[in-house]
């Protein structure tokens, strides 16, 4: 009797672990994110990896083809760090992780979120540099990274983001000069304040230099 | 203690040799022995002992496992973890310190223990490098350093250990590449280095390892390709390189590894096709090539792998058809080809693999019907053929597959009815047939064995009622029947299902009232009954304390909003749209603090919008359009700091001014306030709506100029139409007169040059601007100045000292100044370098704005034109030889006075 019940506990355990029913990598990616995050208020409780896809998980929105297009975890009291798996969410348009306690680096892999329109990581504890790979997100319109602990320079590659409408890196620890090309011609100074930035590069007046 | 251990073997030896020799002789031997002992003790520990103590010195031994490593011992042979040979001159042949919670570094002294055959330091917390001196321990046969924190590289000197049979360094932080010298280890049978930070390619010398049976280096960052030389490892049984960055093709030579049982290469970048030579590895038990970028066909030779049990090729880019030879894998238990690009039909030969219990072919482009022969696979427990182009019916025989627990066929083109006996003989756990063209009714016995947790039949053509067998399915967690033709009243028995967490009945033809018993579904988190003909909601909805999403839109629901719904404090999504709800919104709506989405549109709600809605700090979308809301927009809506998707208050009877607080919604992308009776000006705070993509303010009573927002300037007139008093931007000129952008400038080039010169001078000298300002105030009565600050539109004939751009008023000028003061091109160089703002910076910026007005160019210019407007003007002046004409200050003042006459 005892071995039998032990066995059934084991089976239940296995079933709860294996993402057996996930037909796409998106559910796995989100579940990997869940494991990385500490979630004291249980906002991720519904993220059940045994479900067919993550579209019934709360704070996740899918399109009609069951691809994840929104991740809404702003103001959710989560901490921890992001991992490379987030790059698997190929259809993601909105990555809303603002106002949490998430730290660590912004994963390079976010550069593979080709459909991303909005990346809101503001008011967290992100550190390290702004990954250059963000410049690959050609649909990106909103990039708000303010109020973190980001260091290094503003990658010049970001000037190629022609759709970028809002760019806010204020209240970080960035250094170097501020790009002025492309969409950067239109961003207000407030988006850059409270850093160690040495001002905009004034092309034609000063040597082209953005190093820290 | 140590002494006792030391003496024992000798005592045995002595007793064996004991004969008739005199006691004297024995006494003498004893005397010599004891003397030797005393001398040795006084001389201290032998060399190996000292080396070991040196090792210990660089360790932290928190739990004193090495407590008996005593300097006063003669030899270390009695020490914990130390094993010596049993001969006359004992030497340390084995050091086993595994699982002792040791930390610190491994001292290079280890290289002096030259008699070591076995070194086991596994399961500790050693840090630092593996000392290269270990290569001096030339007798070493076994090295176990696994499960530590070693970093640094695998020392090339290990290649000198010609007796080495086993090297295990897994679960460390070792970096660098696997040294080429390892190829010298002709006796090496086992190399285990998984879960480290190894990089670089695999050494080509690997082919020399004729004794190698197990090579495991998964979960590293090994790059390059698998060397063709691997074919030389004739004894290789397990090759594990999963989760690396290995690219290139799988070498054909793998086919020469006749003893290979496990080929584990998943999660790499392997490309090319699967070599047909793999069919020669007839000992293969597990072939895991998933999560690579393999292309081409699955070779038919795969059918030669008679011993194969597990075949995982999923998540590649394989195309072509599944070879019929697959049926020869008679021992296979798990086959997974999912998420590839495979075409053609499912071969009926699968049915010959009688032991098969898992078959995943989902996420391909398979066509044709599901072969009836699949029904012969009596051991099948998991079958997933979803996301293909399969047609025809679900084989009737599926209902007899007694071991089936998970059956997924969703997103195909399956037709016909579901076998009605499904569930009679099997303990079904998950059934998902959604997104097909199935007709008929739900099989009555799906939950006969009370094991079913998920039933998803959405988007089919099923009809009839939900059978009692499903409604009483106590195990059920999710029931999704969206998008069918089900009829009848709300299935009230469903409310007895205590485990039910998701019930989705949208887009069917259910009708009548939702019964009060729905309140029994205490675990219900998701209740979607939109697009039906439900007429009434019970107040017991308020018992659903776990409810997170509640969608009842597009029904026939009427009456006031149920106050009980505010008990559902977990609600994140609430959609009441397109019903016939009436009355005012209760303030309690503001207590649903988890709400992310609130849709109330297309009802007959009336009264004021409760200001308590402003408490919904998680709200991303607020849809209230198409009601009869009246009164003013509460300024509290401006505190909805998460509002991003939309704020829609259109088509109501809202009056009063637009609260300036709405300008705080800086994430907001869509704003609809159209078709109300809003009046006053569009608040200037709207310039903070930096994320706004679409804004519709049409058909209100708004007046005044559009705030200077780039979006507004480029927006279609339709967004503002129907407001009599609005002007500026795409609308009519606020001064009431439409004119060309630069009427003054167009007169002749000479005057343009003059003006540019003036402005250039202005930038050069702050004093000029001061003079201009003084002149301005001298020429105008002081009392007219405040009118400019009062947001009044200056009349067309007000004598502004500069010709305005079309639709560009002095007031706009001052506003745009404040908006752009910190933008590039406008910024004074001093500000750029010091980040300190002075009045001088403002004057500089002001000058740039003036230059912008004059030249019609933006402050930031292409690099080849100077990069910014100031440089451009400088170049212009130089190129047009205007510098010589630079007027004196006196002339400038005269010019200005003239220009006003």
Residues contacting B652, CB < 8 A, separation 6+ = B624, B625, B626, B627, B628, B629, B630, B675, B676
Chain B window 127-186: which residues touch A at a Cβ cutoff of 8 Å?
none
Q: Which of these, B650, B757, B731, B735, lies nearest to B695 by C-alpha position?
A: B650
Residue A98 three-state SS: coil
Separation CA B164–CA B185 (nearest Å): 6
* Interchain CB contact of B617 with A (< 8 Å): yes
Q: Give the residue-averaged pLDDT of B786-807.
A: 32
Give tens-digit pLDDT for B619-628.
999 999 999 9
The token duo for B331 is 């021992």
* Interchain CB contact of A190 with B (< 8 Å): yes
Q: Give the residue-averaged pLDDT of B546-571.
A: 94
Q: Is the Cβ pair A51, B454 closer than 8 Å?
A: yes
Structure pTM? 0.73
pLDDT(B420) > 70 = yes
Let me know: does B335 contact B359? Beta carbons within 8 Å: yes
pLDDT band (50, 70, 90) for residue A164: very high
Separation CA B823–CA B341 (nearest Å): 51
So what's the pLDDT on residue B705?
87
So what's the pLDDT on residue B369?
97
Interface test with B, best of A11, A119, A188, A201 (most B CBs within 10 A): A188
Q: Give the residue-averaged pLDDT of B666-675.
A: 95
Residue B125 three-state SS: strand
pLDDT(B121) > 60 = yes
Q: Give the residue-averaged pLDDT of A14-28.
A: 53
* Interchain CB contact of A120 with B (< 8 Å): yes
Contacting residues of B for A202, CB less than 8 Å apart: 824, 827, 829, 832, 867-868
Average pLDDT of every residue of chain A = 85
Interface test with A, best of B312, B407, B459, B690 (most A CBs within 10 A): B690
pLDDT(A8) > 60 = no
Q: Scanning every residue of chain A, which has its alpha carbon at the shortest distance from the alpha carbon of B410?
A: A52
**Distance from chain centroid for Cα B146:** 31
Q: How many CB atoms lie within 10 A of CB B34?
A: 10
Residue the block writes with tokens 């409780």: A45
Sheet containing B439-440, strands listed edge to edge, beginning at the edge strand earlier in sequence: B439-440, B461-464, B485-489, B509-512, B533-534
Q: Is the Cβ pair B871, A120 closer than 8 Å?
A: no
Separation CA B478–CA B480 (nearest Å): 6
Residue the block writes with tokens 């002149």: B775
* Interchain CB contact of B615 with A (< 8 Å): no
**Distance from chain centroid for Cα B59:** 41
Separation CA B94–CA B90 (nearest Å): 12
Q: Scanning every residue of chain A, which has its alpha carbon at the shortest distance from the alpha carbon of B454?
A: A51
Q: Give the residue-averaged pLDDT of B516-536.
A: 93
| HSE value, Cβ hemisphere, 13 Å, CA-based, for B672 | 16
So what's the pLDDT on residue B491?
86
Pick the range with the lowest mean pLDDT from A163-172, B33-42, B539-548: B33-42
Q: Is the Cβ pair A23, B454 closer than 8 Å?
A: no
pLDDT band (50, 70, 90) for residue B767: very low
Q: Scanning every residue of chain B, which has its alpha carbon at the shortest distance from the alpha carbon of A73?
A: B618
Q: β-pairing, A37-38 with A79-81?
A: antiparallel
In terms of phi and psi (left: phi > 0; alpha: psi -120 to 50; beta: otherwise), the region of B279 is: alpha
Pick the range with the lowest mean pLDDT from A16-20, B22-26, B275-279, B835-839: A16-20
Pick the range with the lowest mean pLDDT from A149-158, B567-576, B760-769: B760-769
The dihedral sign for the CA sequence A72, A73, A74, A80: negative
* Interchain CB contact of B119 with A (< 8 Å): no
- Bridge partners of B584, per DSSP, are B606
Q: Scanning every residue of chain B, which has its alpha carbon at the shortest distance from the alpha carbon of A142?
A: B691
Q: What angle do CA B574, B575, B580 make, to 5 degrees?
A: 130
So what's the pLDDT on residue B342?
97
CA distance, residue B478 to nearest chain A CA (Å): 10
Residue the block writes with tokens 């690219």: B247
* Interchain CB contact of B688 with A (< 8 Å): no
Q: What percent of chain B has pLDDT over 90?
A: 70
pLDDT band (50, 70, 90) for residue B205: very high
Contacting residues of A for B834, CB less than 8 Å apart: 199
Instruction: Say if residue B83 is exposed, middle or buried (CB neighbours under 10 Å; 0-12, 13-18, 19+).
Output: middle
Residues in chain A: 212
Average pLDDT of every residue of chain B = 84
Pick the range with the lowest mean pLDDT from B49-53, B433-437, B454-458, B777-781: B777-781
CA distance, residue B692 to nearest chain A CA (Å): 9
Q: What angle do CA B512, B513, B518 make, to 5 degrees?
A: 130
Separation CA B304–CA B285 (nearest Å): 12
Give tens-digit pLDDT for B674-727.
999 999 999 999 988 989 989 999 999 999 988 877 778 778 888 898 998 888
Q: Give the residue-averaged pLDDT of B742-771.
A: 47
Between A157 and B888, the higher pLDDT residue:
A157
Interface test with A, best of B832, B844, B865 (most A CBs within 10 A): B832
Contacting residues of B for A24, CB less than 8 Å apart: 339, 363
* Interchain CB contact of A56 with B (< 8 Å): yes
Q: Give the residue-averaged pLDDT of A128-156.
A: 95
Separation CA B682–CA B665 (nearest Å): 15
Give tens-digit pLDDT for B397-419.
999 999 999 999 999 999 999 99
Chain A window 91-110: which residues touch B at a Cβ cutoff of 8 Å?
94, 96
Chain B window 703-732: which residues touch A at a Cβ cutoff of 8 Å?
710
Phi, psi torsion values for A51, nearest 5 degrees: -80, 160
Separation CA B544–CA B519 (nearest Å): 6
DSSP per residue over B81-109, as a string? TEEE-SSSS--EEEEE-TTS-EEEE--GG
Pick the range with the lowest mean pLDDT from B178-192, B313-327, B433-447, B711-725: B711-725
Pick the range with the lowest mean pLDDT from A124-128, B452-456, B536-540, B871-875: B871-875
Q: Is the Cβ pair A46, B620 closer than 8 Å?
A: no
In B108-262, alpha helices (H): none
Q: Which of these, B333, B467, B455, lies nearest to B406 by C-alpha position?
A: B455
Separation CA B232–CA B230 (nearest Å): 5
Contacting residues of B for A142, CB less than 8 Å apart: 667, 691
Q: Give the residue-averaged pLDDT of A85-109.
A: 96
- Bridge partners of B519, per DSSP, are none
Pick the range with the lowest mean pLDDT from B95-109, B559-573, B765-779, B873-887: B765-779
So what's the pLDDT on residue A109?
95
Chain B window 497-536: which residues touch A at a Cβ cutoff of 8 Å?
502, 525-526
* Interchain CB contact of B827 with A (< 8 Å): yes
So what's the pLDDT on residue A169?
96
Q: Give the residue-averaged pLDDT of B240-268.
A: 96
Q: Give the residue-averaged pLDDT of B141-159.
A: 96
Q: Scanning every residue of chain A, which has its alpha carbon at the shortest distance from the alpha carbon of B862?
A: A181
pLDDT(B819) > 70 = no
CA distance, residue A187 to nearest chain B CA (Å): 7
Q: What percent of chain B has pLDDT over 70?
A: 77
Interface test with A, best of B860, B862, B866 (most A CBs within 10 A): B860
Separation CA A49–CA A17 (nearest Å): 8
pLDDT(B818) > 70 = no
Q: Is the Cβ pair A94, B617 closer than 8 Å?
A: no
Separation CA A102–CA A168 (nearest Å): 18
Q: Give the residue-averaged pLDDT of A95-116.
A: 96
So what's the pLDDT on residue B11?
35
* Interchain CB contact of A46 with B (< 8 Å): yes
Q: Is the Cβ pair B833, A198 closer than 8 Å?
A: yes
Q: Scanning every residue of chain B, which has its alpha carbon at the shortest distance from the alpha carbon of A42?
A: B570
pLDDT band (50, 70, 90) for residue A40: very high
Residue the block writes with tokens 């559902």: B568
Q: Give the residue-averaged pLDDT of B817-837.
A: 39
Using CB atoms, which residue from A75, A185, A188 is nearest to B825?
A: A185
Q: Scanning every residue of chain B, which has its alpha carbon at the shortest distance from the alpha carbon of A93?
A: B645
Give tens-digit pLDDT for A192-212.
999 998 887 766 555 455 567
Separation CA B792–CA B725 (nearest Å): 12
DSSP per residue over A15-67, as a string? HHH--TT--SHHHHHHHHHHHHEE-TT-TTTT--TTSSSGGGSTTEEE-TTS-
Using CB atoms, which residue from A58, A75, A206 is nearest to B572?
A: A58
Let me know: does B768 contact B774? Beta carbons within 8 Å: no
DSSP per residue over B143-175, as a string? EE--SS---SB--GGGGG-TT--EEE--SS--B
pLDDT(A3) > 50 = no
pLDDT band (50, 70, 90) for residue B597: very high
Contacting residues of B for A189, CB less than 8 Å apart: 821-823, 827
So what's the pLDDT on residue A203?
61
Helix (H) or strand (E) holding B725: strand B725-727
Phi, psi torsion values for B879, nearest 5 degrees: -65, -30
Q: What percent of chain A has pLDDT over 70?
A: 84
Helix (H) or strand (E) holding B454: strand B454-456
So what's the pLDDT on residue B337?
97
Contacting residues of B for A52, CB less than 8 Å apart: 408, 410, 432, 454, 456
Separation CA B709–CA B502 (nearest Å): 45
Contacting residues of A for B339, CB less than 8 Å apart: 23-24
The dihedral sign for the CA sequence B459, B465, B470, B474: positive
The token duo for B243 is 């989760």
Q: Is the Cβ pair A142, B691 closer than 8 Å?
A: yes
Buried-exposed string B841-867: b where 16+ CB fall within 10 A, e elsewhere: bbbbbbbbbbbbbbbebebbbeeeebb
So what's the pLDDT on residue B1?
36
Between B823 and B138, the higher pLDDT residue:
B138
The token duo for B698 is 């049409």
The token duo for B775 is 């002149």
Q: Give the residue-averaged pLDDT of B566-574.
A: 94
Let me know: does B272 contact B251? Beta carbons within 8 Å: no
- Bridge partners of B126, per DSSP, are B104
* Interchain CB contact of A118 with B (< 8 Å): yes
So what's the pLDDT on residue B877?
64
CA distance, residue B99 to nearest chain A CA (Å): 27
Give tens-digit pLDDT for B7-41.
333 333 333 444 444 554 555 545 444 444 444 44
CA distance, residue A186 to nearest chain B CA (Å): 7
CA distance, residue B239 to nearest chain A CA (Å): 24
Q: How far apart are the first and last CA of chain B?
A: 117
Q: Which of these, B311, B307, B339, lies nearest to B323 by C-alpha position?
A: B311
Which CA distances in Å does B440 have to B211, B419, B566? 63, 10, 40
């Amino acid at each position: 009797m005892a071995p039998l019940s032990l066995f059934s506990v084991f089976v239940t355990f296995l079933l709860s672990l294996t993402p057996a029913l996930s037909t796409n990598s998106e559910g796995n990616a989100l579940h990997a994110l869940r494991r990385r995050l500490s979630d004291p208020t249980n906002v991720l409780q519904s993220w059940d990896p045994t479900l067919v896809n993550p579209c019934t998980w709360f704070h996740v929105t899918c399109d009609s083809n069951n691809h994840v297009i929104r991740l809404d975890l702003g103001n959710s009291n989560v901490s921890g760090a992001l991992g490379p798996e987030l790059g698997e969410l190929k259809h993601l348009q909105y990555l809303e992780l603002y106002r949490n306690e998430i730290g660590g680096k912004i994963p390079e892999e976010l550069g593979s979120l080709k459909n991303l329109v909005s990346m809101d990581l503001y008011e967290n504890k992100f550190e390290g540099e702004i990954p250059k790979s963000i410049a690959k997100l050609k649909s990106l319109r909103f990039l708000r990274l303010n109020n973190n602990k980001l260091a290094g320079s503003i990658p010049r590659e970001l000037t190629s983001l022609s759709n970028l409408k809002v760019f806010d890196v204020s209240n970080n620890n960035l250094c170097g000069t501020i790009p002025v090309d492309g969409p950067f011609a239109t961003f207000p100074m407030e988006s850059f304040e409270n850093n160690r930035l040495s001002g905009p590069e004034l092309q034609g007046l000063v040597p082209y230099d953005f190093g820290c | 203690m140590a002494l006792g251990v030391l003496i024992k073997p000798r005592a045995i030896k002595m007793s064996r040799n004991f004969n008739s020799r005199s006691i004297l002789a024995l006494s003498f031997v004893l005397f010599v022995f004891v003397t030797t002992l005393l001398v040795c003790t006084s001389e201290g520990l032998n060399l190996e002992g000292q080396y070991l103590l040196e090792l210990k010195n660089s360790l932290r031994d928190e739990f004193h496992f090495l407590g008996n490593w005593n300097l006063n011992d003669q030899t270390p042979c009695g020490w914990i973890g130390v094993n010596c040979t049993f001969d006359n001159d004992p030497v340390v042949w084995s050091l086993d310190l595994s699982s002792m919670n040791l930390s610190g570094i491994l001292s290079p002294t280890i290289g002096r223990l030259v008699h070591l055959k076995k070194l086991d330091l596994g399961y500790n917390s050693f840090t630092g490098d593996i000392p290269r001196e270990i290569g001096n321990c030339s007798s070493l046969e076994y090295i176990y350093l696994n499960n530590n924190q070693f970093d640094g590289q695998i020392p090339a000197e290990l290649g000198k250990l010609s007796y080495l049979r086993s090297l295990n360094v897994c679960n460390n932080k070792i970096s660098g590449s696997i040294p080429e010298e390892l190829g010298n280890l002709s006796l090496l049978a086992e190399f285990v280095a998984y879960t480290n930070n190894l990089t670089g390619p695999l050494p080509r010398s690997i082919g020399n390892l004729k004794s190698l049976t197990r090579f495991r280096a998964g979960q590293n960052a090994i790059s390059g390709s698998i060397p063709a030389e691997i074919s030389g490892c004739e004894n290789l049984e397990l090759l594990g390189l999963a989760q690396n960055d290995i690219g290139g093709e799988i070498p054909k030579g793998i086919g020469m590894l006749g003893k290979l049982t496990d080929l584990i290469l998943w999660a790499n970048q392997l490309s090319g096709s699967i070599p047909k030579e793999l069919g020669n590895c007839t000992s293969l038990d597990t072939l895991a090539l998933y999560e690579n970028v393999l292309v081409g066909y699955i070779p038919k030779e795969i059918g030669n792998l008679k011993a194969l049990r597990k075949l995982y090729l999923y998540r590649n880019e394989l195309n072509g058809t599944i070879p019929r030879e697959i049926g020869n894998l008679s021992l296979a238990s798990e086959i997974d080809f999912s998420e590839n690009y495979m075409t053609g039909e499912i071969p009926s030969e699968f049915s010959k693999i009688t032991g098969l219990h898992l078959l995943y072919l989902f996420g391909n482009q398979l066509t044709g019907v599901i072969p009836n022969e699949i029904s012969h696979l009596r051991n099948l427990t998991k079958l997933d053929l979803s996301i293909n182009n399969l047609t025809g019916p679900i084989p009737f025989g599926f209902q007899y597959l007694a071991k089936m627990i998970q059956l997924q066929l969703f997103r195909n083109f399956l037709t016909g009815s579901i076998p009605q006996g499904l569930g009679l003989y099997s303990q079904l756990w998950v059934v998902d047939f959604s997104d097909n063209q199935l007709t008929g009714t739900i099989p009555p016995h799906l939950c006969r064995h009370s094991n079913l947790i998920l039933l998803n039949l959405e988007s089919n053509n099923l009809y009839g009622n939900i059978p009692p067998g499903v409604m009483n399915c106590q195990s059920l967690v999710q029931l999704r029947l969206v998008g069918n033709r089900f009829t009848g009243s709300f299935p009230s028995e469903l409310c007895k299902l205590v485990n039910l967490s998701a019930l989705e009945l949208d887009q069917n033809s259910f009708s009548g009232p939702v019964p009060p018993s729905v309140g029994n579904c205490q675990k219900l988190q998701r209740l979607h009954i939109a697009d039906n003909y439900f007429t009434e909601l019970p107040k017991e909805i308020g018992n659903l304390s776990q409810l997170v999403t509640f969608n009842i839109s597009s029904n026939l629901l009427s009456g006031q909003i149920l106050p009980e719904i505010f008990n559902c404090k977990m609600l994140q999504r609430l959609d009441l749209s397109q019903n016939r709800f009436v009355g005012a919104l209760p303030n309690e709506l503001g207590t649903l603090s988890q709400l992310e989405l609130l849709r109330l549109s297309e009802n007959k709600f009336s009264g004021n919008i409760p200001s308590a809605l402003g408490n919904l700090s998680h709200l991303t979308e607020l849809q209230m359009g198409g009601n009869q809301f009246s009164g003013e927009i509460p300024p509290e809506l401006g505190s909805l700091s998460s509002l991003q998707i939309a704020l829609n208050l259109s088509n109501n009877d809202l009056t009063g001014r637009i609260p300036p607080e709405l300008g705080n919604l800086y994430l907001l992308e869509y704003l609809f306030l159209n078709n109300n009776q809003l009046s006053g000006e569009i608040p200037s705070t709207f310039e903070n709506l930096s994320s706004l993509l679409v804004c519709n303010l049409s058909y209100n009573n708004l007046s005044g100029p559009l705030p200077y927002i780039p979006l507004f300037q480029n927006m279609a007139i339709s967004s503002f139409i129907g407001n009599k008093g609005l002007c500026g931007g795409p609308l009519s000129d606020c001064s009431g007169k439409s004119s060309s952008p630069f009427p003054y400038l167009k007169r002749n080039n000479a005057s343009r040059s003059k003006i540019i010169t003036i402005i250039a001078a202005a930038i050069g000298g702050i004093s000029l601007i001061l003079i201009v300002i003084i002149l301005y105030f001298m020429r105008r009565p002081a009392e007219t100045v405040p009118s400019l600050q009062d947001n009044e539109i200056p009349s067309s004939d007000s004598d502004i000292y500069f010709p305005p751009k079309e639709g560009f008023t002095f007031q706009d000028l001052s506003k745009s100044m404040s908006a752009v003061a910190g933008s590039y091109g406008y910024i004074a160089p001093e500000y750029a370098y010091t980040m300190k703002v002075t009045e001088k910076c403002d004057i500089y910026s002001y000058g740039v704005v003036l230059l912008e007005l004059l030249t019609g160019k933006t402050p930031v210019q292409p690099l080849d034109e100077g990069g910014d407007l100031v440089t451009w003007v400088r170049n212009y002046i130089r190129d047009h030889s205007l510098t010589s004409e630079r007027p004196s200050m006196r002339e400038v003042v005269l010019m200005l006075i003239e220009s006003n006459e």
